[in-house]
Amino acid sequence: MADLVRAAGRPAQVLDGDDIRRHLTADLGFSRRDRDENVRRIGFVARMLAQNGVVALVPVIAPYEAARRAVRAQHAEHGIAFVEVYVTTPVDVCAVRDVKGLYAEQRAGRLTGLTGVDDPYEEPRSPDLLVPAHEQSVTQSVNAVFDRLTRAW
């Protein structure tokens, strides 16, 4: 996605959730309070990037509606476009695509607090884009996100 944005002439930065957890929010756990703080910090960095003309791509799990709404409000307060993309995929499909092994760890009883399994995920009420990744190809999903982003520029 970042390459598409750059090819369209816009600078882009991916704020990967795993990288952020290692470097910016390593002090946080996975309680609701910590997850909200994680989203708040990532939202702040995304807004700072956007204020400087960089398209911030933020592929993270933000499980709580209030935290997502707060980040959207902060962007709006600063006149910054915000596009919430809800990649909706059933948990059983996520488990099959389990590249990190988290679902297997949870099933084996070695992991608790897995979002959408034994920790809540509050589905977005009105995302800017809904991507049913289990019903379309990766290319279709990427194109849908890119098209929506370009309308926000």
Reported as a single tens digit per residue, the pLDDT across 14-70 is 999 999 999 999 999 999 999 999 999 999 999 999 999 999 999 999 999 999 999
**21 falls within a domain:** yes
Q: How many domains does the chain divide into? A: 1
| Domain around 7 | 2-84
Residues whose CB falls within 8 Å of the CB of residue 72, separated by 6 or more in sequence, listed in order: 82, 84
Q: How far apart are CA 73 and CA 64, in angstroms?
A: 15
**52 falls within a domain:** yes
**112 falls within a domain:** no
pLDDT for the residue numbered 144:
98
pLDDT for the residue numbered 120:
94
Residues whose CB falls within 8 Å of the CB of residue 54, separated by 6 or more in sequence, listed in order: 10, 11, 12, 13
**Mapping DSSP to helix (H, G, I), strand (E, B) and coil, where does residue 25 land?**
coil
Summarised one tens digit per residue, pLDDT across range 58-116 is 999 999 999 999 999 999 999 999 999 999 999 999 999 999 999 999 999 999 999 99
Q: What is the CATH number of the domain that holds 76?
A: 3.40.50.300
The DSSP symbol for 22 reads: H
Which amino acid, residue 40? R
Provide mean pLDDT across the span 131-141. Answer: 97
**Considering only CA atoms, which of 47, 128, 136 is closest in space to residue 89?**
136
